[in-house]
Structure 1
Amino acid sequence: MALQISATNPEQPAVLLDLPWSLPLEEWPDDCLVALPRGISRHVVRFAEAGSEVLAVKEIAERPAVREFGLLRDLHRLGIPAVDPVAVVTGRVDADGRPLESALITRHLKGSLPYRSMFESTMRPSTVKRLMDALAVLLVRLHLTGFAWGDCSLSNALFRRDAGAYAAYLVDAETGQIQPTLSRGQRDYDIELARVNIAGELMDLEASGSLHPSVDPVPFGAAIVRRYEDLWHELTRESVYPVDKGHYIDRRIRRLNELGFDVAEMQIERSPVGDTVTFLPKVVDAGHHQRQLLRLTGLDAEENQARRLLNDLESWMAGQDDYAPGDPLGARPEVLAHRWVRDVFRPTVRAVPLELRSRTDAAQTYHEVLEHRWYLSERAGKDVGRDAAIEDYVAHIAPCSEPDSVAGTGAHEA
């Protein structure tokens, strides 16, 4: 059987051919591998360099590899935070012609970490809670699109900094399935699995001495259930308002926007006697601030990062002489946003040395500089300015930046 590479990009197979597919993944030479933190997996996983990209290669049987590749492509099309599928490699044989397992290839998610790497230094309970919140948001987003995960856990997700919070990405879709809608029982099954898996994972950390003494694994495992239920209720509940309180509907939509979700479709019905209206958001899409920032500036960021950058953009625009909302002679928001990217955002990010800012994405770097400017200004009792904030950030914060932990010297709680 000949080696076959099925890729999302027609140019990808030529680059992938250079990797040593005739060797079991465990025996790949160091010169083609990249040393990055790996989470726990039932399969052999390695990070490899192919061209200018870093790829995650997972050895797995052909049928589940092809199935998971298709599911990841579906999730990518639906805009769900998940690792980006690159290719499936089948027909592998060793030098003696003996068959080897197939390989699923995904793109390394820059700036992301598996949860065990984040616990190498004991994390604050507040940070553990933010990880649980991120995983709950991911599970809600999956369920809204009809995806039953079947194995929700900390191990099957990656986490990236997202302003003061974290964003969770699905990294293992092997047990998942997509349906038009999920029943309550299907959602409950995922939630219960998440509770049990997370409690078990935290117990493992506790046994190894990596868990903060104040973190009790069982209550923290149960916390994701409450967070999930609260968010699901807010996004899907049916509301009944007096007919003369139509602005309540606008207030509900704004509340959903603040949570990072857009109402793409809604159902509004008047009661038989005409004294009340019933409002039900039919389709709720995540990434409200992401899309707004992308439309205005062309910058692609996580949801909380986007919210923070939009706030800074709006404050900056308000101080511009040609900013006049509603005035046809004033500069349009798109024009001002472009100027903000050119004159404020990019110079700020580029002022941070490349070796420091390359650890994370540009939006997170900008957010951290903003947070540090706020911290210094509060301490000084006046605005210290952008240049002073950048200089102090580069000198004292960026070199020792790490996920919030007891040992983290550069973290400031907002």
Structure 2
Amino acid sequence: MIDLRFVREHPDAVRASQRARGADESVVDKLLAADADRRALVRRVDDLRAEQKDASQAVKKAGPDERPAVLERAKSLAAEVKQAEEELREADAALREIHLRIPNVVADDVPPGGEDDAVTLRTVGEVPAYDFDVRDHIEIGEALGAIDMERGAKVSGSRFYFLTGPGALLEFALAQLAISRAVAAGFTPVVAPALVRPEAMEGTGFLGEHDEEVYRIERDDLYLVGTSEVALAGMHSGEVLELDGPRRYAGWSSCFRREAGSYGKDTRGIIRVHWFDKVEMFSFCRPEETAAEHLRLLEWEEQFLQLLELPYRVVDIAAGDLGTSATRKYDIEAWFPSQGTYRELTSTSDCTTFQARRLNIRYRDADGRPQTAATLNGTLCAIARTIACLLEVHQQADGSVHVPAALRPWLGGVDRLTPGMTLQAAVPPA
């Protein structure tokens, strides 16, 4: 959640952020009103408790004639304190409810507008030209024996799939490459749980307006994560961290998304599915370090796509398309030949102190005082979507698929995937 003191001191900035997002400005005034009501009740409770304490002392000192009246006053004050404390609990709940509804404050130089208003910062790599009819990743994957959508739907329903043979090996190769790159960059690898408690989902901003996207296990009151960001953020909830520099994790987990409202968008294939595996970068740092850390996460994402020999562009996401927790977000969109356009492959978001404040994650400043930490996240590899892009970009006229050099160590050194290939050739020797 955003800093309440910032809202008190800069309400116009928060209203401007709401406008930029296309969100309700009136919640800012509602928050300020709820805050004022709560603070007034805090003063009232404090005053009544002081009066009650004085009355208790008066009872001890009262003479026989005064004692009944003094006792009555003490009893009356006790009832008033109880009533005021109940009103304060209700005011606390009302304040929290409205506070949670306000997303992070948008950074000043984020582009205005919505989904179609992202600004392209740079384009990297040449869009490939083909002298044959381009196939999409499902045609290629089925010919290779790498993707089975029909049986995925039979077992689990639409937007589920099997990765088989070389498709399964590509999954493992991409995961190995991503984790090894992250470890070399100083990240701690983490295999993160895919089921989390409501507090972790709420703390990272994935409930509320986003709960239609989330799978919930009602019997156990647990949620399936849409990204390991949720578990990685919650891992240090309620803790005070030593942050002499960013603390970085690379989390692997399965991810689950209902994709509510996305019917008709990429329904063919494994670009937009209900389940996929992902390697996610996550960083805890001091608030003044977030801008530089955000660019570092973006750089690592770009380096990874360059290793995969994929043409891409970097876009600065417009305010109206930012997630609840993000003050700024960069997407990397890779080229999909079958669609003749760039599609999102990875993203990275600066969440400043928004998530850490909800999750009570702090660090000690130079004077040893606890301060709210900052968090950032960045997708290093969303594996299913990356496989789709690899198959399309690197397709060959004979039905084979070029294997980028960076992946070959985890695929037995083979430089091409071919229909009917012997899988042993794509497995690293023992």
Same-fold call, TM > 0.5?
Answer: no
Q: TM-score, normalised by structure 2?
A: 0.23
Q: TM-score, normalised by structure 1?
A: 0.24
* Higher RCO (CA < 8 A, seq sep 6+): 2
Larger of the two Rg values belongs to structure: 2
